[in-house]
């Protein structure tokens, strides 16, 4: 998976997520809305089967907000993994 910053400014950025369909883009979009500094979070994909999604973030500091969303998603997956292993007994 590659990440291409298509547009970056002081209050907005567009990030292409190469190799994603909708899964990661949707997860990050949802998590970005948990940040009070985010004023807009969405993603677009021009064609359902072709192309890559572009995550659109508008925030006080979009880089900081996106880094925070990635960290929180990672922490949630790690916590789920621990609980899943515990539930399976393995």
pLDDT in tens, 21-52: 899 999 999 999 999 999 999 999 988 788 99
Residue 63 in contact with residue 55, Cβ under 8 Å?
Answer: no
In whole angstroms, what is the distance from residue 62 CA to residue 52 CA? Answer: 20
Q: Smallest Cα–Cα separation from 30: which of 84, 66, 59? A: 66
**CATH superfamily placement of domain 2-88:** RNA polymerase, RBP11-like subunit (3.30.1360.10)
Cβ atoms of residues 55 and 69 within 8 Å: no
CA 72 to chain centre: 10
Band of pLDDT at residue 86, cut at 50, 70 and 90 = very high
For residue 88, the Cα-to-chain-centroid distance in whole angstroms is: 29
């Amino acid at each position: 998976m590659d990440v291409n910053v298509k547009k970056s400014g002081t209050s907005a950025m567009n990030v292409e997520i190469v190799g994603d369909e909708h899964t990661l883009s949707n997860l990050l979009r949802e998590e970005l809305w948990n940040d009070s500094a985010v004023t807009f979070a969405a993603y677009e994909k021009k064609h359902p089967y072709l192309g890559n999604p572009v995550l659109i973030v508008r925030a006080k500091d979009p880089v900081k907000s996106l880094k925070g969303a990635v960290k929180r998603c990672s922490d949630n997956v790690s916590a789920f993994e621990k609980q899943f292993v515990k539930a399976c007994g393995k």
